[in-house]
Amino acid sequence: MNGAKITLMMLALMALFCYVGYLVGGQGGMYIAFIIAVVMNFGSYWFSHKVILKMYRAREITETDHPRLFRVVRRVAAQANIPMPKIYIVPSKTPNAFATGRNVEHAAVAATEGILEILNEDELEGVIGHEIAHITHKDMLIGAIAATFAGAIGILASIARWGAIFGGYSRSNDRGGGIGLLIAAIVAPLAAMIIQFAISRQREYKADEEGARLTGKHLALASALEKLHKAPNRLNLTRSTSTAHLMIANPLSSKGLLSLFSTHPPVEKRIERLNKLHQESIYGGHAAYY
């Protein structure tokens, strides 16, 4: 069911993208915009993971560099029946972790120095299980596509706004007029961001559930999330919103209406779900959150 929700939201992003392209340049504009999106998605698929790892100055490690992390990743990868991903350490005291890579065969798991200092091995295994779940579900690709569409919609909307201001009234009557064009150009980027972040929140819930099921560390993952949430320097890893959706813990603060633009569900709800999943695993129940 979560997969169906994500598919519907991705289709909504694509439809919104095509609509803004149509507003900007009619049918021809829609086709051109779609071609641009394909090119951008190609670039995201092949190169985004390299850019992200370089952005965080992540260093690839071997087993001798950090035996505990290497041991945990190898154990969880074996449980998931996937090739051993490359392992990176980010030189930051902010406790966080993320997965990246274009597919299972070219995946990487990165952990900060801070997260390795505050988590015990069970908690670390819960976190790695969450990241391995992202890898097995190809969430990195979904996230890259969603971010690319949202970014492209923002660019097109900016063009549409200027078109509406400078002469758009006369040229766009068949597409709703200049006022309609201007309103759509303002609303579309906000709608795209809300859809993109909703996709991210659904993926986080699913990764929590699948990672905990894979490792059996429901309570350990809940404990890890609580520690990460309460860490005093948890918001210092990055000032950019472009990679926030990759992290296991939300590096950005968002409350109230701003939660619509949050890449992560509230940590309290994540912990509550994990506790319920633990109880259901003990008593043989079936967890389903839709």
Could you list the active site residues? Answer: 131
**Closest Cα to residue 169, out of 160, 179, 159?**
179
C-alpha span between 6 and 261 (Å, rounded):
16
Q: Which helix (H) or strand (E) holds 68?
A: helix 67-80
> What does each C-alpha distance from 134 to 15, 32, 78, 80, 99 come to in angstroms?
26, 32, 15, 11, 7
Helix axes 67-80, 177-215, angle to 10 degrees: 100
C-alpha span between 151 and 17 (Å, rounded):
10
Q: In what side-by-side order are the strands of the sheet with 59-60? A: 59-60, 86-90, 107-112, 97-101
Which residues contact residue 239 at a Cβ distance below 8 angstroms, ignoring those fewer than 6 apart? none
- Provide the residue type at 69 as one letter: L
> For the range 176-183, what are the long-range contacts, defined as Cβ-Cβ under 8 Å and sequence gap of 24 or more?
176/23, 181/23
